[in-house]
Amino acid sequence: MQFATRLDNVETSAIRELFKLLGKPGIISFAGGFPDSAMFDVEGLKEASAKALAEEPGGALQYGATEGYDPLRAQLSAFMKGKGVEVAPDGLIVTTGSQQALDLLGKTLISPGDKVIVEGPTFLATIQCFRLYGAELISAPIDAEGVQVDRLEQLIAEHKPKFVYLIPTFGNPSGAMLNLERRRKVLELAVKYGTVIVEDDPYGDLYFGKAPPPSIMSLTAEVPGSRELVVHCGSLSKVLSPGLRIGWMIAPPELLAKATMCKQFSDAHTSTFAQATAAQYLKSGRMPGTLAHVRKVYAERAAAMGAALKRELGDAIAFTQPGGGLFFWARLTGANGKLADANVLAKRAIEKGVAFVPGAPFFAEKPDLATLRLSFATANVEKIEEGIARLGAAL
Amino acid sequence: MQFATRLDNVETSAIRELFKLLGKPGIISFAGGFPDSAMFDVEGLKEASAKALAEEPGGALQYGATEGYDPLRAQLSAFMKGKGVEVAPDGLIVTTGSQQALDLLGKTLISPGDKVIVEGPTFLATIQCFRLYGAELISAPIDAEGVQVDRLEQLIAEHKPKFVYLIPTFGNPSGAMLNLERRRKVLELAVKYGTVIVEDDPYGDLYFGKAPPPSIMSLTAEVPGSRELVVHCGSLSKVLSPGLRIGWMIAPPELLAKATMCKQFSDAHTSTFAQATAAQYLKSGRMPGTLAHVRKVYAERAAAMGAALKRELGDAIAFTQPGGGLFFWARLTGANGKLADANVLAKRAIEKGVAFVPGAPFFAEKPDLATLRLSFATANVEKIEEGIARLGAAL
C-alpha cells in the first residue's frame, strides 16, 4: 500500500518511546499530561448518565446534530458566561475533546504551506496536528508571563500567518500565564493585522490562588473588531473527565459553519451519550464543588513540587512556580558543572525510578535541550517529594 | 477570514434543505437514515454504563489509548469471530462511529487527485468525506446483486484507484446485497491488481430472512494474498445505538498504525466512557436478543413497505425487495405518463405529507434523476401504509 506523504511530516513521537519505559515497577511518573483519576466525580457522573438515559433516552442514544446536543450547548453557554464570555448556545459547537477542535481548525483553515504561529514551546499534539495539514509552524518565544508580544508582532508582520495559536493560561508545557496587558495587546495585534487568534483554554479553571486574568475571548468585549477574529477552545477533560471527550469551540459564525461541515464528515457528531451525561452533570450544580476540590489538591501538589525542586536541585534548575494548571516547566542551568541536557537526564532519571518529559519535542523550531516538563497532577505529596529526591540524585 | 479551498469541493447538501421541511406537522418521513429510537435497549445500556462506572471508573473516565479501550477491542474481536472474521483485539482500532473510519482512510490514504472507486449510488457522507481530501471519485455501477464486477475490473484497470469502497451488504442507499460469487471475484481483483478494498458493513447484521453471504473480510481466508488488501469497517450505530459513536476498523498492520497516528491528532481517542459502556453491553450477552428483535421489527416494516409500494404505485415504480438493512432503493419508471423525476416528486410528496430522499445526491457521477431512497426504519406498519398511500397520491 502507498500512503499519503503528509504523514511524513509528523515525527514518531519521542515521548511514545519514553512512555514505553513507564511500565517499570516502582517508577514515579511526572511524565503524564493527564488529570488524576482519583479526582473524578464518579458518583456525580453515574447519577448524570443514569438521569440522561432515564429522562432523554432518545436524545442520548440517537444520532444528533453535528453542532452538538442542544441541552449541552445551553449548559456550556451558561458555563462560559460564568467565566465572563457571552456566547449564545448556537455560537459554539461541541467537539470530541478539544483535540478535535484543533483538527477542525486545521482541516478548515490550513492549506499546505500556510504559516501558523505557535508558542515556543507549545502543546505537542498541536504541532503534529497542524503539520499533518501541511502547515509551516513559526515559534513565538514565551516567558513566565506568556508570549512575548513585541516579538509576536514582528513575526505576524513578517510571516502573515493563517492564525496564531496560544495556550495563554497555564500553558502545556509552559505553565505560563499571559498577563492582562499582553492579552489586550494580542487582541490589538489581531485587529491591526487582521490575524485570527486561537485561544486554547483547557487549564484556565485550574488556578491555585487568585483567578487568572479574563480569557482573551472575554476581553474581546473591550477591543472593538476583535471578537470576529478570536476562536476559543474549551474542554471538560482536565476539570471533569477526559474519557467523556467533551470539548467545545467558540468562533465567528462563518468559521463555525465551515468547521461544522468538516466535523460532519469527521465523526458525524460527538457521542450524544457523553454529551447528555455532561449536560446533566453541569445542570446538577456539582461542577463548582468539583472545581474547588481539584484546585485545592493540585495547589498542594504544585507547592510540594516547587519546594522539593528547590531543596533537591537548588541552582541546577530554574523555573517559575506555576499559578495553576498541571505542569512545571523548568530549565537545567548547568550550574556547578551539573548536567544541562534534559534528554540525558531523562534516561538517568528512569534508572533512579522517576520519569519526566524532556522539553525538546514541545518546540516547533530550535529545541532548547535544557528544558523539561514535570507534571504534579497524578502523584500525591509524598510521592512528589520522593520522586524529586530521585531526580536530584539522578542529576 | 480565508478558508481552505478544499471545502469548495463539497456541495452543500441538497438533503439538508429537504430535512428543514420535515418539521411540518403530520409529515410521515421515510427520509432518515437512522434506526428507530424506540428499539434502543435503554435498560441494557443503563446497566452497562452503571457497571462500567462501578467496576472500571478509571478506565471509563480517563484518557485512553488511541487504538481503543482494550476490553472493548477484546469484545469486538469476539463479536467479529461470531461473524466469521478472525481478528485479534490488536488487529482492529475503535473509531468514533464508522464515519471516523472513513475520515481516517481519507486522511491516511488520499492525496489530492487520487482516484477512488465507489458504488453508484453510494453513501452520501462517503462521497463528501473523500472529496474533502481531494479524491476524484469514479462510480462503478450496481444492481440488486451489488457491484457489477466486470465493469469494476475495467474501472480498476483504467483508473488504478487508491482503493475501492463498497457497502456490499444492504448498502446505503441501494439496499443491494453483493452475491457470494461477486464477493470472491472482488477479492480476486484485489489480488490481481494490488488494489485495496474497503468493506463498509454497518448493516450486515440487519438481515430479515436468511443471513447474507460471509463478509468480504471473512472470505479473505479463501483467497490467498487478499487479507492484506482488505479493510473492514464495522459499527454499533445501526444495531445498538448511534449515540455511543462506536465503530471499528480492521486493516493490515501498517495501515492500521498510520490510521492510529492520524486518529491521535483527530480526537486523541474515542470516548472511553462510551467504549467501556459498549464493552459491558457486549459482555452482558444481551446483543443476540437485541439483534433478533430489531431484525424482526425491521423485517415487518420492509414487508409492509414493499407491499404498499406495489399496491399504491404499481408499475410506476421499480424496486427489488431488500433482504435487510434500512432502505428501499427505487426507480420511477414513468409508466403510463407518470412522473419520472424524483426531485419533483419529493416536493409534491411533502405537500401530501410524506417525505423521502431523491436518489441524485448519492451518485458521485451522472445522477439518475428517477431514483429515490425510502427508509422503512422509523415508521410503524400503519404509518408506512399511510405514507406510501400519500406517495401514490403525489405521483
B111: closest CA of chain A, how far (Å): 6
CB neighbour class for B255 (10 Å; exposed up to 12, middle 13-18, buried from 19): buried
Q: Cβ contacts (< 8 Å) between A58 and chain B: which residues?
A: 37, 40
The answer to whether the CB of B152 falls within 8 A of the CB of B167 is no
Hey, is the C-beta of B262 within 8 angstroms of any chain A C-beta?
yes
**Which CATH architecture best describes the domain B64-286?**
3-Layer(aba) Sandwich (3.40)
pLDDT averaged over 10-residue windows placed end to end, chain A, 395 residues: 48 59 82 93 97 96 96 98 98 98 97 97 96 96 97 98 98 97 98 98 96 98 98 98 98 97 96 98 98 98 98 97 98 94 95 96 95 97 98 96
Using DSSP bridges, classify how beta strands A146-147 and A136-143 pair: parallel, antiparallel or unpaired. Answer: antiparallel
Q: Cβ contacts (< 8 Å) between A61 and chain B: which residues?
A: 37, 40, 42, 45, 241-244
Give pLDDT tens digits for B338-354: 999 999 999 999 999 99
Residues B260-286: b if buried by 16+ CB within 10 A, e if exposed:
bbbbbbbbbbbbbbbbbbbbbbbbeeb
Phi and psi angles of residue B60, each rounded to the nearest 5 degrees, phi first: -80, -20
| Bridge partners (DSSP) listed for residue B117 | B138, B164
Looking at residue A173, its pLDDT comes to 97
Instruction: Tell me if the domain spanning A61-286 has CATH number 3.40.190.10.
Output: no
Hey, is the C-beta of B274 within 8 angstroms of any chain A C-beta?
yes
The answer to whether the CB of B8 falls within 8 A of the CB of B352 is no
C-alpha cell at B395: 405521483
Residues in CB range of B344: below 8 A, 6 or more apart: none
Residues B302, A158: Cα–Cα separation, whole Å: 63
The answer to whether the CB of B27 falls within 8 A of the CB of B355 is yes
> Residue B386 CA to chain centroid, in angstroms?
27
Q: Which of A55, A272, A273, A326 is most worth mutating to test chain B (most B CB atoms within 10 A of its CB)?
A: A273
- Give the start-to-end residue ranges of the domains of chain B: 5-41+289-394, 64-286
A8, A10, A13, A14: CA torsion to nearest 10 = 80
For all residues of chain B together, what is the average pLDDT? 94
Contact criterion met (CB < 8 Å) for A107 and B4 = yes
User: How many residues would you count in chain B?
Assistant: 395
Q: Cβ contacts (< 8 Å) between A129 and chain B: which residues?
A: 265
Residues in CB range of B169: below 8 A, 6 or more apart: B177, B178, B201, B203, B204, B212, B215, B324, B325
Using DSSP bridges, classify how beta strands A246-250 and A115-120 pair: parallel, antiparallel or unpaired. Answer: unpaired
C-alpha cell at B356: 423521502
Assess whether pLDDT exceeds 90 at residue B22.
no
The answer to whether the CB of A385 falls within 8 A of the CB of A308 is yes
**B5-41+289-394 and B64-286 have identical folds:** no
Give pLDDT tens digits for B155-166: 999 999 999 999
Q: Cβ contacts (< 8 Å) between A259 and chain B: which residues?
A: none
Give pLDDT tens digits for B103-150: 999 999 999 999 999 999 999 999 999 999 999 999 999 999 999 999
Provide the pLDDT confidence category of residue B19 given band limits of 50, 70 and 90.
low
Residues A234, B3: Cα–Cα separation, whole Å: 22
Residues B127, B308: Cα–Cα separation, whole Å: 31
C-alpha cell at A80: 462560559
The answer to whether the CB of A353 falls within 8 A of the CB of A314 is no
3-state secondary structure chain B: CCCCHHHHHCCCCHHHHHHHHHHCCCCEECCCCCCCHHHCCHHHHHHHHHHHHHHCHHHHHCCCCCCCCHHHHHHHHHHHHCCCCCCCHHHEEEEEHHHHHHHHHHHHHCCCCCEEEEEECCCHHHHHHHHHCCCEEEEEEEECCEECHHHHHHHHHHHCCCEEEECCECCCCCCCECCHHHHHHHHHHHHHHCCEEEEECCCCCCECCCCCCCCHHHHHHHCCCCHHHEEEEEECCCCCCHHHCEEEEECCHHHHHHHHHHHHHHHCCCCHHHHHHHHHHHHHCCHHHHHHHHHHHHHHHHHHHHHHHHHHHHHHEEECCCCECCEEEEEECCHHHCCCCHHHHHHHHHHHCEECEECHHHCCCCCCCCEEEEECCCCCHHHHHHHHHHHHHHC
Residues A3, B107: Cα–Cα separation, whole Å: 9
* Closest to A289 measured CA to CA, from A281, A280, A300: A281
> Residue A317 CA to chain centroid, in angstroms?
24
ipTM for the whole complex: 0.95
Task: Find the residue in A nearest to B100 (Cα).
Answer: A267
Give pLDDT tens digits for A97-118: 999 999 999 999 999 999 999 9
- Count of A-B CB contacts under 8 Å: 227
Residues B181, B206: Cα–Cα separation, whole Å: 21
Contact criterion met (CB < 8 Å) for A125 and B265 = yes
Provide the pLDDT confidence category of residue B2 given band limits of 50, 70 and 90.
very low
Assess whether pLDDT exceeds 50 at residue B262.
yes
Assess whether pLDDT exceeds 60 at residue B3.
no
> Residue A223 CA to chain centroid, in angstroms?
25
Give pLDDT tens digits for B58-67: 999 999 999 9
Mean pLDDT value of segment B251-280: 97
Contact criterion met (CB < 8 Å) for A252 and B1 = yes
Q: Cβ contacts (< 8 Å) between B132 and chain A: which residues?
A: 107, 262, 265
Long-range interactions of B349-353: CB distance < 8 A, separation 24+: B349/B390, B349/B391, B349/B394, B350/B21, B350/B24, B350/B27, B351/B394, B352/B390, B352/B391, B352/B393, B352/B394, B353/B24, B353/B26, B353/B27, B353/B28, B353/B387, B353/B390
| Bridge partners (DSSP) listed for residue B29 | B355
Instruction: Give the type of residue at A329.
Output: W
C-alpha cell at B390: 400519500
Q: Cβ contacts (< 8 Å) between B122 and chain A: which residues?
A: none
Residues in CB range of A244: below 8 A, 6 or more apart: A236, A237, A274, A277, A278, B61, B271, B273
* Closest to A64 measured CA to CA, from A307, A365, A310, A278: A278
Instruction: Tell me if the domain spanning A5-41+289-394 has CATH number 3.90.1150.10.
Output: yes
Residues A203, B25: Cα–Cα separation, whole Å: 46
Contact criterion met (CB < 8 Å) for A270 and B162 = no
Residues B69, B59: Cα–Cα separation, whole Å: 8
Q: Is omega for the bond preceding B121 within 30 degrees of 0, making it cis?
A: yes
Assess whether pLDDT exceeds 70 at residue B14.
no
